[in-house]
């Protein structure tokens, strides 16, 4: 019985819930047919044997759920690692920018390259507070909403504009919003 239970656990861990339930049912039937009295039949006389048979099924379900949760967390950790690496590359490229005049086009270019997006504009305010687009020369202009630009600049919170297929993200220095990036 323990050997069959180990088989169910391994199936649950490596194949998922569907194959694990199939292995549990096959193990239940095999254990019943070959080891429980009366041997050679699928009938069970002792009620305690029902507990053993359902233990196979319960083990399969619990083990497969735990295993899939662990795989999901490992996948999320890999994705987080990739995102942190991209952000590190972006921040490093921005930090080594020699002067403020080239910083904005550099940010736009680096965001496009690092995150593999087609368009990126950086909007910065002038003396009057009006936001002006400063796209990189090789980037296509994003169709953006002036109202959303101002809202993101004022609130400091990211917004998504499904109508223009654009994402508005605040650029912050410390806690102060210094511009808006439109992707």
- Report the distance separating Cα 37 and Cα 29, nearest Å: 13
Neighbours of 4 (CB within 10 A): 19
Beta carbons of 60 and 17 less than 8 angstroms apart: yes
What rounded mean pLDDT belongs to the chain? 77
Selected residue with higher pLDDT from 107 and 49 = 107
pLDDT score of 41: 77
30 pLDDT more than 60? yes
Please give the average per-residue pLDDT across 22-26, as a whole number: 82
Please give the average per-residue pLDDT across 107-126, as a whole number: 78
pLDDT score of 141: 56
pTM, 2 dp: 0.53
pLDDT score of 132: 74
Task: Count the alpha carbons within 13 Å of 74 in the hemisphere toward its beta carbon.
Answer: 6
């Amino acid at each position: 019985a323990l050997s069959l239970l180990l088989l169910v656990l391994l199936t649950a861990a490596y194949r998922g819930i569907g194959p694990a339930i199939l292995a549990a049912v096959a193990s239940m039937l095999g254990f019943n047919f070959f080891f429980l009295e009366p041997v050679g039949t699928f009938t069970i006389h002792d009620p305690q044997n029902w507990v053993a048979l359902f233990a196979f099924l319960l083990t399969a379900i619990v083990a497969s759920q735990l295993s899939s949760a662990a795989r999901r967390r490992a996948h999320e950790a890999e994705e987080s690692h990739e995102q942190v690496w991209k952000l590190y590359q972006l921040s490093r490229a921005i930090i080594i920018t020699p002067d403020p005049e080239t910083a904005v086009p550099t940010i736009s270019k680096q965001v496009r390259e690092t995150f593999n997006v087609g368009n990126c504009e950086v909007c910065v305010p002038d003396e009057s507070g009006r936001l002006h687009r400063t796209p990189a020369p090789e980037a296509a202009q994003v169709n953006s909403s002036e109202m959303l630009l101002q809202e993101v600049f004022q609130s400091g919170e990211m917004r998504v504009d499904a109508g223009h297929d654009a994402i508005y993200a605040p650029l912050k220095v410390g806690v102060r919003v210094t511009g808006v990036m439109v992707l």
